Amino acid sequence: YFQSYLAYAKGALNKDNLLIIPIDHVQSTIHADEKLLEDINKYKLALHNYFKTKNKIVLFYERNYRTKHMQIQVNKLSINLI
C-alpha cells in the first residue's frame, strides 16, 4: 500500500510545482521509516525520468515549517540553468 501521494501545490510557483506528501503525519524525512522513504524515492525517480523527457531537471526540497506534516516540494528547472 502507498505511504505517500503526489499533489499539485496550492499557490504553485509554476504549473509543474508538485508536492510529495506522506499519508501519515511525519515531521521530516529524518523521522520517516524505511517504507516511506522507499515510496518517496519511487516518486522522485518517476518525476526525474518524466522531466528528463521534457529536457528539464527536477529540484526536490523538503519543507516542514511549523507543522508536523512534511512536504517535499518538486520544481522543474531548465537544463540550461546548470
- Per residue of the chain (82 residues), give pLDDT as tens: 899 999 998 888 888 899 999 999 999 999 999 999 999 999 999 999 999 999 999 999 998 888 889 999 999 998 886 6
pLDDT value for 30: 93
Q: Report in angstroms the alpha-carbon separations of 67 from 26, 45, 64.
A: 9, 26, 6
Residues whose CB falls within 8 Å of the CB of residue 7, separated by 6 or more in sequence, listed in order: 18, 19, 21
pLDDT value for 42: 97
pLDDT value for 43: 98
**CA separation for the pair 56, 63 (Å, rounded):** 22
Q: What is the pTM of this model?
A: 0.89
Torsion angle defined by CA atoms of residues 22, 26, 32 and 35, in that order, rounded to the nearest 10 degrees: -40
pLDDT value for 48: 97
